[in-house]
Amino acid sequence: MTPFEIGLISVVAMVAMIYLGVYIPIALGLVSFVTIWILRDSFELPLALLKIAVGDSVTEYSFATIPLFTFMGLIVSRAGMGEDVYRVMNTLFHKIMGGVGMATVGANALFAAVTGSSIASASVFTKVAVPEMIKLNYNKRFAVGVVAGSSVLGMIIPPSAMLIIYAIVAEVSVGHMFLAGVIPGIMLAIAYIVAICGMSAINPKFVVNEGAGQWDGAELLTWGQMVALCLPLIGLVMMVLGGIYTGWLTPVEAGAAGAALGLLLAIFRRKIDLKGFWNALLETGHITAAILFLITAASIYSRMLGIAGIPNALGDFLDTYQLGFTAVMVMLVLLMLFLGTLLDTASIILIVVPLFLPIVEPLGVSLVWFGIIVVIGAEIGLLTPPLGISCFVIKSTINDPNITLKDVFMGALPFAAVMLVVLIILIEFPILSTALLP
Amino acid sequence: MQGNEPETAEPRAGSALTRVANQAARFMAAIAQVANAAGTLVVLGLVVLINSDVVARNAFNAPFAGTYEAVQFLMVMIVFLQLPDVVRINRLTRSDGFLGLIAGRRPAIARFAARIIDGASACFMAVIAYAMWPEFQRSWSEDMYFGTPGIFTAPYWPIHLVITFSAALCALIFLTKSISGRRRPEMLHLEESGA
């Protein structure tokens, strides 16, 4: 067998093992280790590579963005910032049909600018927005679907753990990835709002049930209250993204400053005690360890691909059949949709990027743009059955037997479709991702 | 989504091997939790260090020497001190659609598959420990230093030690999971990483 064939078999074996339920970092590491051992007929070589991957790949300054932004996200969730922006958005959108849905999207977009996790967004907004929509007699599928769909914004609008992970694997700047995520994130939020308008115009039954209740006029905020509720969030965004944009702070420093400000805010509002603080730190550590171990394993996998010559062979294959850029993009999107049925976003990014990066790099495209495509493509998987993580989080947070997992998936499907459309637009017009780059 | 799913004990009495594994699991769980608490303090240290540096640089125009290297050093500590606890509470990233599916219909098969997977994971972590141990011996005896001479240096051996220790502990925790099989595959989808 040629090295290429062995490599290909090992990639297939790896995906099969992951589907069977093997821990993803273990599957990546173990298969890569054995493959290199077979290819080079030496136990010492994979051992040496493992040593380098484990010992060196974690000692990277920009990795510190992961715990810092994770901590910031956990703290601002505890500080109740998601609920605040939701109330503001509700006041703005309350007169329109499907308004609570639009408010959820808007609030998610703003909240996403201070958290990097779709899971945090999904659980916060399931608690505040879904009961409200049910009360106003919205269609239950729409209610959970809109929360699932808009939770994805958490990972696209910076700061975002996924943008950081891509930046690390592709060796581009974390700051550039953050800036590149701004326009696509806002675009997606607007696309969701337009889609909700369209749904209520074309098929109102999908949005609200017959005889839907009108807003009862309670809980509306004055302009002054709205400003007061938004101010802390805007301050945090200015500090973090503004700091990175002007070059005053590195992404790592921006994360630390954001974490400290978020903490001060939570203390000021008496939303956090020592136990809550310790739990947030603990959670941060767990998430960091899980993600960085995954990245370590992915670096072994990427070396294995190189040794087997897979990316070169794929490139030759494309040359031979005269398949150009469009074919590569179609393959990429299809592969990500397939993996998205069962895998989480970070794993998809770590499996796909080492395969495709050597192919797209010679095409002379922007790697930052490519990152935005990969992150959004991989995130569609959060919404698709059988294992859309956002949908699972919503189902387990909601605790209502009348809403099944199927309802969540069916409700999220239109939003997954909107994501796909936005993804195609972003592929077609790279300028949307690169416009803000210095 | 705390993920702190306690491993529920199975009602059936285990063999002698299972009993030993359960006792060993409790012992290693304690070590993992201590390491975890230490790692959690390092997270706090990281936040404090970087903020102090930003303040010192902007307010007093006196940045700390070696923040960059110290951050790298702390990152290794965070990851490898926390990893055994991540393994212990079943939060290592995995896709469990299939296992969850068969757990509903053929629980015995799902349980067996979960034990095989934990066993294979134990082997992989053991290989990491085996690879890192000579590195530790070398950095310990040869006084290897980390960082830029003249600005910030730290001995290399704590890094190699913590990685070796962490990988070995993870291997042992996986091994006890594999032997005792104390977990419920049908609960798997509640365990996922922070992604």
CB contact under 8 A, A290 and B194: yes
Helix and strand counts by DSSP (H, E) for chain A: 23, 0
Q: Mean pLDDT over residues A229-254, rounded?
A: 88
Query: What was the pLDDT predicted at A210?
Result: 66
A215: confidence class by pLDDT, cuts 50, 70, 90? low
Query: What was the pLDDT predicted at B44?
Result: 93
Query: What was the pLDDT predicted at A219?
Result: 65
Q: Is the pLDDT of residue B55 over 50?
A: yes
Tens digits of per-residue pLDDT, A7-49? 889 989 998 898 888 998 999 999 999 999 999 988 999 999 8
Query: What was the pLDDT predicted at A1?
Result: 77
- CA B113, B119, B124, B128 dihedral sign is positive
Query: What was the pLDDT predicted at B5?
Result: 40
- Higher pLDDT residue, B95 or B160? B160
Q: What is the DSSP letter of A239?
A: I
- Higher pLDDT residue, B83 or A343? B83
Q: How far is residue A356's CA from residue A365's CA, in Å, rounded to a whole number? A: 12
Structure tokens at A171: 């060796």
CB contact under 8 A, A281 and B44: yes
Query: What was the pLDDT predicted at B186?
Result: 38
Q: How far is residue A403's CA from residue A405's CA, in Å, rounded to a whole number? A: 7
Query: What was the pLDDT predicted at B117?
Result: 93
CB contact under 8 A, A23 and B40: no
CA-to-CA separations, A24 to A290, A310, B109, in angstroms, rounded: 10, 20, 20
Tens digits of per-residue pLDDT, A244-266? 888 888 999 999 999 999 999 89
Which among B54, B83, B190 has CB closest to A293?
B83
Q: Is the pLDDT of residue B48 over 90?
A: yes
Side chain identity at residue A361, one-letter code: E
Q: How far is residue B96's CA from residue A343's CA, in Å, rounded to a whole number? A: 9
Q: Is the pLDDT of residue B187 over 50?
A: no
Q: Is the pLDDT of residue B185 over 60?
A: no
Q: Is the pLDDT of residue A305 over 50?
A: yes
DSSP per position, A186-201: HHHHHHHHHHHHHHHH
Torsion of CA B65, B69, B73, B79, to 10 degrees: 120
Which single residue is written with the structure tokens 């299939």?
A: B98
Q: Which residues, 6+ apart, have CB-to-CB distance to A6 below 8 Å?
A: A35, A38, A39, A308
Query: What was the pLDDT predicted at A213?
Result: 57
Q: H or E element: which one contains A3?
A: helix A3-20
Query: What was the pLDDT predicted at B193?
Result: 33
Chain A: closest CA distance from residue B155 (Å): 14
Tens digits of per-residue pLDDT, A394-414? 887 777 788 888 888 889 999
A216: confidence class by pLDDT, cuts 50, 70, 90? low
Chain A positions in Cβ-Cβ contact with residue B195 (cut-off 8 Å): 117, 119, 161-162, 291, 344-347, 389
DSSP per position, B52-115: HHHHHHHHSS-PPTTHHHHHHHHHHHHHHHHHHHHHHTT-S-B--HHHHHHHHH-HHHHHHHHH
Least confident of A112-116, A118-122, B8-12: B8-12
B17: confidence class by pLDDT, cuts 50, 70, 90? confident
Structure tokens at A257: 């400053």
Tens digits of per-residue pLDDT, A84-102? 888 888 888 877 777 888 8
Q: Does A257 touch chain B (CB under 8 A)?
A: yes
Which among B39, B71, B114 has CB closest to A61?
B71
CB contact under 8 A, B39 and A285: yes
Mutate to test the interface with A, among B43, B64, B85, B175 (most CBs of A within 10 A): B43
Q: How far is residue A111's CA from residue A124's CA, in Å, rounded to a whole number? A: 10
Rounded to two decimals, the pTM is 0.86
Query: What was the pLDDT predicted at A110?
Result: 87
Q: For A385, name the nearest residue in chain B, comparing CA atoms only.
A: B97
Q: Which of A154, A152, A162 is nearest to A66 (CA)?
A: A162
Q: How far is residue A179's CA from residue A6's CA, in Å, rounded to a whole number? A: 40
CB contact under 8 A, A59 and B75: yes
Which single residue is written with the structure tokens 């005792």?
A: B180
Give A 108-147 residues with CB within 8 A of chain B.
Answer: 117, 119, 123
Q: Is the pLDDT of residue A350 over 70?
A: yes
**φ and ψ at B152, to 5 degrees?**
-155, 125
3-state secondary structure of A110: helix
Query: What was the pLDDT predicted at A368?
Result: 95
Share of chain A above pLDDT 90, in %: 28
Q: Which residues, 6+ apart, have CB-to-CB distance to A150 below 8 Å?
A: A104, A105, A108, A109, A121, A125, A189, A192, A415
Q: Is the pLDDT of residue A71 over 80?
A: yes
Structure tokens at A305: 């691909």
CB contact under 8 A, A22 and B94: yes
Q: Which residues, 6+ apart, have CB-to-CB distance to A162 below 8 Å?
A: A116, A155, A156, A345, A346, A349, A375, A378, A379, B195
Using CB atoms within 10 A of its CB, is residue A84 exposed (0-12), middle (13-18) or buried (19+)? buried
Q: Is the pLDDT of residue A146 over 80?
A: yes
Q: How far is residue B151's CA from residue B149's CA, in Å, rounded to a whole number? A: 6
Tens digits of per-residue pLDDT, B27-41? 888 999 999 999 999
Q: How far is residue B10's CA from residue B133's CA, in Å, rounded to a whole number? A: 36
Least confident of A172-176, A376-380, B96-100: B96-100
Using CB atoms within 10 A of its CB, is residue A215 exposed (0-12), middle (13-18) or buried (19+)? middle
CA-to-CA separations, B20 to A153, B2, B167, in angstroms, rounded: 48, 29, 21
Side chain identity at residue A64, one-letter code: A
CB contact under 8 A, A387 and B86: no
Answer yes or no: are the C-beta atoms of A186 and A157 closer than 8 Å.
yes
Least confident of A242-251, A367-376, A422-431, B178-187: B178-187
Using CB atoms within 10 A of its CB, is residue A253 exposed (0-12), middle (13-18) or buried (19+)? buried
Tens digits of per-residue pLDDT, B103-120? 778 888 888 888 999 999
CA-to-CA separations, B129 to A55, A285, B145, B188, in angstroms, rounded: 11, 21, 21, 27
Q: Does A60 touch chain B (CB under 8 A)?
A: yes
Q: Mean pLDDT over residues A121-140, rounded?
A: 84
Give A 84-103 residues with CB within 8 A of chain B.
Answer: none
Query: What was the pLDDT predicted at B69?
Result: 86
Which single residue is written with the structure tokens 């420990």?
A: B129
Chain B: closest CA distance from residue A124 (Å): 11
Q: How far is residue A271's CA from residue A177's CA, in Å, rounded to a whole number? A: 32
How confident is the prediction for chain B on average, in pLDDT? 81
CB contact under 8 A, A54 and B163: yes
